[in-house]
Amino acid sequence: MISTNWKAYFYFTKKELKGIIVLGIILLGSICLSWFFTTHHPKENTKNAPERLTHLVNFDPNQIDSMQAIVLGIPAHQVNTLLHYRQKGGYFKSPEDFAKLYGLSPSLFSQLYPFIKIKPSDQGKAKFSRFNKDGQFGFTKWSWRIDINTANEKEWASKTNLPQVIIHRIIAYRNYIGGFSNAFQLNKVYGLNDSLFQSIKNHLYVNEYKSTIRNANSMGFADWKKLGIFSNQQIGRILQFKKENRGKIGWGILIELGDLTESETALLKQKIQCSE
């Protein structure tokens, strides 16, 4: 039987001992460096983390700007939705309406709800007058009025507080049709929703003593007929020409299609306006 000395397994040459020592030093150094330079980041469960509200204060969603909204904890993409909604004429009548903002989570709304303060508008408040123009008793004199055919941009802004983009569209539409015959035509202005219109409609009026000059580009068959100048056949030709020319028509073609005399042309220019 061959006997073995177990100590022989732990015998190393000088070269092997030096290698073992070097490796040990490297290993020990790596462990020490990891202790000194390793930073520990707490793990955050962002998936289920609730919205973070930086600073809760009373606010009016109809008036806050983007920075104020972000400070309240409203995410940036929903701030953009809020501003876009207001630019289109949107208006929050009550705190509950703010819950309908697209993408706003119920948990965030519940935290913001106690701080939502909708400021009452001066629009729609009436001053008491004993008798109106018809001799009837009641609230008839409004705190402010605006002639929708003569008011300029500054007057619209100071009296109605409408968004600037809506005011520009109102004036552009008025210029396009040649003037309003009644206040309800404002409903055709893009962005002026029903809630905004209802809040100002009692303040709007059209000067009944001032004749409105129509724009030929926006007139239909009945409008041309009321002029009492063109026959049905001539009106049909006018409308066909407008259709073929993207809704536009000029004085020259009107005179030609209607075979107008000089006096008829002068009368027509008092009643309508053309783009050319």
What percent of the chain clears pLDDT 70, i.e. is strictly above it? 76
Kindly indicate the confidence band of residue 12, based on its pLDDT and cuts at 50, 70 and 90. low
Top-ranked range on mean pLDDT: pick from 14-23, 32-41, 66-75: 66-75
Question: What confidence tier does 3 reach under pLDDT thresholds 50, 70, 90?
Answer: low
pLDDT of 129 strictly over 80: no
Has residue 167 got a pLDDT over 80? yes
Specify the pTM.
0.35
Domain that holds residue 232: 216-273
Quick one: 157 and 200 in the same domain? yes
Percent of the chain with pLDDT over 90: 2
* Residue 187 covered by a domain: yes
Long-range CB contacts (within 8 A, 24+) of 197-204? 199/91, 199/121, 199/123, 199/124, 200/123, 200/124, 200/160, 200/162, 202/124, 202/126, 202/142, 203/123, 203/142, 203/143, 203/144, 203/145, 203/146, 203/159, 203/160, 204/145, 204/146, 204/148
Domain end call among 153, 170, 205: 205
**Count of domains for the chain:** 3
Of the pLDDT bands very low, low, confident and very high (cuts 50, 70, 90), residue 133 is very low
